[in-house]
Amino acid sequence: MKILVTGGAGFIGSHTVIALIENGYQPIIIDDYRNSEPFIIDNLCEITGGNITHYAFDFGNSKELSKVFEKENPSGIIHFAADKAVNESVSNPLKYYHNNLSNLVTLLNVVAKFPVEAFVFSSSCTVYGVPDQIPVKENAPVKKAFSPYGYTKQVGEKILADFFKNQEKTSLSTLRYFNPIGAHPSALIGELPVGVPNGLAPFITQTAIGKRKELTIYGDDYQTIDGTCIRDYIHVADLANAHVLSLNHNLQKKESVLLNVGTGEGYSVMQVLNAFQKVNNISVAYKIGGRRDGDVPAIYADNSLIKQKINWQPKYSLDDALEHAWRWEKKLAER
């Protein structure tokens, strides 16, 4: 069964491609490498031991997209392709509205002509804004977005829900996930930040390897355990597995679902930094900076629903993720 993966050479997409193959699916990648590099495809082939069909273009290109649908006739779609940096979206909102929303509409216009059985959407816990309670449940109110990125995820969810109401043969999975970190245990694929990293883990690893002088911790005066922001850090391979399980659920039970994907535990920035230094036996230079636009003080998941609905469980610990991320960074340094 063929599954189209937009952004399939990206951080989460590439790990999901592996999980799809391991579960008997044939992934079809569309990626323009704006958040990745072509060597990731070669490494995916090395990990999986076979060739992977891939197309290099912007998924907002309706003509090329239609050609792929006509040729491949996919049964499902996992949609990752989007811009994802909170603070960049504050400074360059039009980039986010174009790629995350306008291009999504383009994709759905093609889906209207070439229907699929399942559609899995990469959403985000940013839709909750500053939550009233943590851990956050799926029925928590969607608050005013802290950033254009968060807003595009809120609107993207609404666009998809409205569209698929009229597509009775398609089931929709909307996955609101928390903070993906780590890398494949083989160290052949992992996160490839463009420019200065926005995520904590690659900023730590790049500082540890010497690419950056020091790590900046944005704010130490939040009302948290040590004053730094708290997040739910999930290993990217566990997140990838959630996509495949939700796809299975869509295809087999023909039921749409909206699910949090997180470990259910919150760790502060300082706790993550300390854990990285301990598990990898290395020290990382850091400084305290001011608060960053768009940052929520604390958020982590209530993951009881995803465990119940699709029988998902995280396999990897925070230490595992930080060890794998460091292994990947060292492998990159050898290139």
Which residues have C-beta within 8 Å of that of residue 254, sequence separation ≥ 6? 171
Q: Are 19 and 90 in contact (CB under 8 A)?
A: no
Phi-psi region of 129 (alpha: psi -120 to 50; beta: other; left: phi over 0): left
99: DSSP letter: I
pTM for this one?
0.97
Give the integer Cα–Cα distance in Å for 166 and 316: 38
Give the integer Cα–Cα distance in Å for 184 and 189: 6
User: How confident is the prediction for the chain on average, in pLDDT?
Assistant: 96
In a domain, 94, yes or no: yes
Give the integer Cα–Cα distance in Å for 142 and 302: 15
Output the pLDDT for position 309. Answer: 97
CA nearest neighbour of 297 among 227, 203, 198: 227
Output the pLDDT for position 296. Answer: 86
Give the integer Cα–Cα distance in Å for 311 and 240: 14
Q: Is residue 59 predicted with pLDDT exceeding 80?
A: yes
Pinpoint the alpha helices (H) of 58-214: 62-72, 86-91, 93-96, 103-113, 148-164, 200-209
Q: Is residue 194 predicted with pLDDT exceeding 90?
A: no
Q: Is residue 293 predicted with pLDDT exceeding 80?
A: no
In a domain, 304, yes or no: no
At 277 the three-state DSSP class reads helix
Give the integer Cα–Cα distance in Å for 300 and 316: 17
Whose tokens are 């986010």? That residue is 96
Facing residues of 174 across strands?
Answer: 121, 258
In a domain, 204, yes or no: no
The H or E element spanning position 18 is: helix 11-22
Task: Say whether 149 is catalytic.
Answer: yes
Give the integer Cα–Cα distance in Å for 117 and 76: 6
Q: Is residue 58 predicted with pLDDT exceeding 90?
A: yes
In a domain, 139, yes or no: yes
Task: Name the residue with higher pLDDT: 196 or 245.
Answer: 245
Residue 296 CB burial class (10 angstroms; 0-12, 13-18, ≥19) = buried
In a domain, 74, yes or no: yes
23-33 average pLDDT score:
98
Q: How many folded domains does the chain comprise?
A: 1
302-326 average pLDDT score:
98
In a domain, 331, yes or no: no
Confidence bin at 179 (pLDDT 50/70/90): very high
The range of the structural domain enclosing residue 97 comes to 2-182+234-262
Q: Is residue 294 predicted with pLDDT exceeding 80?
A: no
Give the model confidence (pLDDT) of 126-170 as tens digits.
999 889 999 999 999 999 888 899 999 999 999 999 999 999 999
The CATH number of whichever domain residue 66 belongs to comes to 3.40.50.720
From the list 55, 128, 149, 267, the catalytic residue is: 149
Confidence bin at 87 (pLDDT 50/70/90): confident
Output the pLDDT for position 1. Answer: 96
Give the integer Cα–Cα distance in Å for 151 and 147: 6
In a domain, 242, yes or no: yes
Task: Name the residue with higher pLDDT: 4 or 193.
Answer: 4
Q: Any idea how long the chain is?
A: 335
Confidence bin at 307 (pLDDT 50/70/90): very high
In a domain, 327, yes or no: no
